[in-house]
Structure 1
Amino acid sequence: MTSTSRAQFSSKFGFIMAAAGSAVGLGNIWGFPTQAASNGGAVFLFVYIAMVCLLAFPMLVAELTIGRYGQSDPIGSIKAIWPKGKKGAVLLGLAAMLTASFILSFYAIVAGWLVGAFAGSAFEIVGLQKTAEWVNSFGLTRNLLLMVIFMLTTMHVVKNGVHDGIERWSTRLMPVLFLLFFVLIIYIFTQNGAMQGLEMYLVPNFAHFSPELFVSAMGQAFFSLSLGCGTIMVYGSYLSKDINIPKTAAQVAAIDTVVAIGAGLLILPAMFVAKEHGVQIFSEAGELLSSDTLVFTVLPAMFDTMGETGLVVSLIFFLLMVIAALTSSISMLEVPVASAIEAFKCKRTTAVLSIGGLITLIAAIIVFNFGALFGLVIKVTTVYGQPILGLFLALLVGWVWNRNKLLEEIKQGYPELETSLFWKIWPVYVRVVCPIFMLLVFFA
């Protein structure tokens, strides 16, 4: 399956940064530390790493391969490997697009909070204290405005296409994010209380071990790596044929996991540093308070301990948080946009404006019904939607797709594939182990 006119990433580095950018975002920096803090720290960390290795990585290879083979949007790529199941392919592709769109709808709200935290630091630096307080407060008008600003930025990048938009932003901004993470982790380790957080994060307490923890860890792994919602499939369709998919997938998964672990090394010690400075982190019953807004409670308290320097560090950190969120949001918007371009042959600008506008409207409805919808949309899309779609994709790759065609597709960038240990394990693993593992976790 080829498409000579289809856009492509111009380099392997560009793809890795774009795919890592898709993966590295709020799933790592907001979702992972929150899940870890709510589920016993180290126990969740170990189960999460196991889920990435045992489920997320094999599925990352599968989705990239489907995308590169199909050279199309999720519907077209699934049809390519499942020619006798056109109706099923349409339903599965539509489900992936809807999942990506609904994830983006709540994602844009949280990213808007990051825009507010960045703007608040900037306003404080120039002395606009009341304006800073307004953008940092949790209010209907503020949440709506910041969400719209973030969605407009996302739409602007996606409108510029694969090379000039997605790849250019990702390759320039992701390395800077990694550097700042490292600097902040070193700083937080020098503060009083940090070692308590580190102990919680690295020393397991098996009292927190439960079936629900496995479900949460699996959902977090799929959310973090953007699996089951068409994103990786679409990015795979922009991947050149000479790229070694298993090796590249391993690099993306490794970068994503290292950033998630790094976020935990920053946020959990920062929780206890903030606690040392009078911020209430846990209830009297020992449960985590304000888990959805943990990053927005803990980090400002940490930056406050740094005095005037803290304002500058806060400004830079939240700017890069916005960038991390943006590299993920552009990948989510690209899923329905790519589908609209393929299906209706419309211009990219038209597709971006219409679909981006619709997702902005959905996000606005969530803002106006925050208490009822925000947590619900997160749970339906990330804890259940992505893994269930991942299960169907595993079954398609393992049981429906012709084994020789699958082999030929991966061999294009990995000539010695047939004699490798990877090929001896992976096809059977995706065919049998991944579906059974997913079902066991779900019905546990």
Structure 2
Amino acid sequence: MSSTSSRDSFHSRLGFVLAAAGAAIGLGNIWGFPTQAANNGGGAFLVVYLIVTVLLALPALYAEVYIGNQAQTNPVSALAKACGERFSKLGHCAGIIGIIGAVMMLSFYTIVAGWMLAHALAAIFEIIGLQQISVWLSNSSTLRNLLFTPIFIILSAGIVFQGVHSGIERWSARLMPLLLVMMLGLIIYMLQQDGAQEGLALYLIPDFSQITKPSLIISAMGQAFFSLAIGVGAMMAYGSYIPKGKGVGKLVLSITALDTFIAFIAGLLIIPALFVAQHNGQTVFSDGNLVGGGQLIFSILPTLFSAMGTIGLVVSFIFFMLLSIAALTSTISTTEVPVAYLIEDKRLSRKQATCLTSGIVFIASMLVIIFFEPLFELVIQLLTTILQPLMSLFYFIVVGWLWQRGNKLTNLAELNKKRTLKLLGFYLRFICPVLLMIVFVNIAF
């Protein structure tokens, strides 16, 4: 294994926060969160989401980053090391499962990212008058998937190949501010449209009578947990690239705050946009739920943008490019998980590790495309409702019970008070596993 001194690393706290936030901020935040909010009472969902983010998602993220930071190595070796000699094989196996989860995530995420890029280009081709190409890009097909999925695999590989500082940190520092500026610009534009204020009221004025609904609470807990990209080792890998004990708690707070902020302002964009579409005569809701669920983004919004004329097509291009950037910041972090393992444990060069990982992801994504109907939803279901919750539960057990006689949180330099450490230790050891089990049992069964 490479020594710590020879490992690549993030060169600044801001670089780490932007890269880690980029890993967390993806299609789940910008589309998944607003969709869940629209289906679950708007403002009531937002209130519960914020509460459970603090109670569950934040500690889960801390546990993952902490393990990587203390071990200063890839997720497989980090978990084996954290579990001690007695349970090292268990930790190693858990790390391998995390890598499998990363490949599973990339196998479908690159496909969806390809859809976003295709829709962005469709707007451009419609603007320049090439209507036939625009229509082809807008409609789902196996050929379109076969062409656009490899584009994202290659883009991710190109950035990861450049290394942690030169690739991931540098590109995250470029892409994340661009994502934020584009989103704020779209929000300002959308809120000026007729019908937007009704959506804004639904989103920002909570109906407190809905807050105690079990389905709303479970949806909010699941969304808060999954939106931070916990459970596949990406945050553990990133945590290992910052110096040991450098204020991990504060960094994790920064990541969670930025991720939650992006999810919040995504709601300010998507929910008013749905009501603008409804104002223009489109059917958006049926019996209080969104028509078409997650696929609504590819039907309602493109139609809405087209109805706005040329300016609407420009907005459509910016919107889908925004989603493409969000997807890219997530795919590069997930790609780094198997790459770090192959470099440090299998002694491959970064070029070899990146090419091998990308090749495996390419084969996996092609299989999902070819057998789309049976595999696509199944892979997503297995990853998000089974593998990720179980892996995060394992992280809590490692941090709270297995590590150096259990729960030795020695790196919290910013939390010097023993009482605070004791409370945090108790929370990670007992409360978090119980909360996570509640989420897992209710979602899975």
Q: How does 1:12-411 map onto structure 2 within 5 Å?
A: 12-83=13-84, 84-202=86-204, 203-204=206-207, 206=209, 210-241=213-244, 243-283=246-286, 285-402=287-404, 406-411=408-413
SS of match in other structure, 2:412: helix
> Contact (CA 8 Å) 1:36, 1:42: kept in 2 or not?
yes
1:383-406 deviation per Cα after TM superposition (whole angstroms, max 9, x unaligned): 332122111110110111126984
Letter in 1 for 2:124: A
Letter in 2 for 1:230: G
1:70-122 deviation per Cα after TM superposition (whole angstroms, max 9, x unaligned): 11111111122112212211121111111122112111111111110111122
SS of match in other structure, 1:375: helix
How many Å separate the matches in 2 of 1:209 and 1:280?
29
Give me the TM-score of the superposition, normalised by structure 2: 0.93
Q: Name stretches of at least 5 consecutive residues in structure 2 with no aligned partner.
A: none
Q: Number of matched residues?
A: 439
| Cα gap change, 1:426 to 1:376, in 2 (>3 Å) | same
Deviates most, 336-345 or 191-200: 191-200
Deviation at 1:133, TM superposition (A): 1.0
Match of 1:425 in 2: 423
> Contact (CA 8 Å) 1:68, 1:238: kept in 2 or not?
yes
1:439 aligns with 2:437: yes
| Cα gap change, 1:434 to 1:22, in 2 (>3 Å) | same
1:126-160 deviation per Cα after TM superposition (whole angstroms, max 9, x unaligned): 22211111111111111221112111111111111
1:182-226 deviation per Cα after TM superposition (whole angstroms, max 9, x unaligned): 121122222122122223323337458544444433332232111
Letter in 2 for 1:262: I
How many Å separate the matches in 2 of 1:405 and 1:385?
24
1:365-390 deviation per Cα after TM superposition (whole angstroms, max 9, x unaligned): 22223332222222221133212211
How many Å separate the matches in 2 of 1:56 and 1:309?
39
Q: Kindly report the root-mean-square deviation, in angstroms, between the aligned alpha carbons of the 2 structures.
A: 2.1
> Contact (CA 8 Å) 1:34, 1:294: kept in 2 or not?
no
How many Å separate the matches in 1 of 2:209 and 2:133?
46
Deviation at 1:26, TM superposition (A): 0.8
> Contact (CA 8 Å) 1:216, 1:383: kept in 2 or not?
no
How many Å separate the matches in 2 of 1:430 and 1:12?
25
How many Å separate the matches in 2 of 1:198 and 1:367?
37
> Contact (CA 8 Å) 2:247, 2:411: kept in 1 or not?
no
Letter in 2 for 1:40: G
> Contact (CA 8 Å) 1:9, 1:238: kept in 2 or not?
yes
Deviation at 1:305, TM superposition (A): 4.6
How many Å separate the matches in 1 of 2:318 and 2:79?
41
How many Å separate the matches in 2 of 1:277 and 1:421?
57
SS of match in other structure, 1:410: coil
Letter in 1 for 2:133: T
How many Å separate the matches in 1 of 2:373 and 2:48?
30
1:283-338 deviation per Cα after TM superposition (whole angstroms, max 9, x unaligned): 3x443222122223343234335422222232233223211110111001111111
> Contact (CA 8 Å) 2:29, 2:227: kept in 1 or not?
yes
**What percentage of residue pairs aligned between the two structures are identical?**
44
Deviation at 1:242, TM superposition (A): 5.9
SS of match in other structure, 1:402: helix
How many Å separate the matches in 2 of 1:215 and 1:281?
24
SS of match in other structure, 1:408: coil
Letter in 1 for 2:126: E
Deviates most, 247-256 or 205-214: 205-214
Letter in 1 for 2:202: M
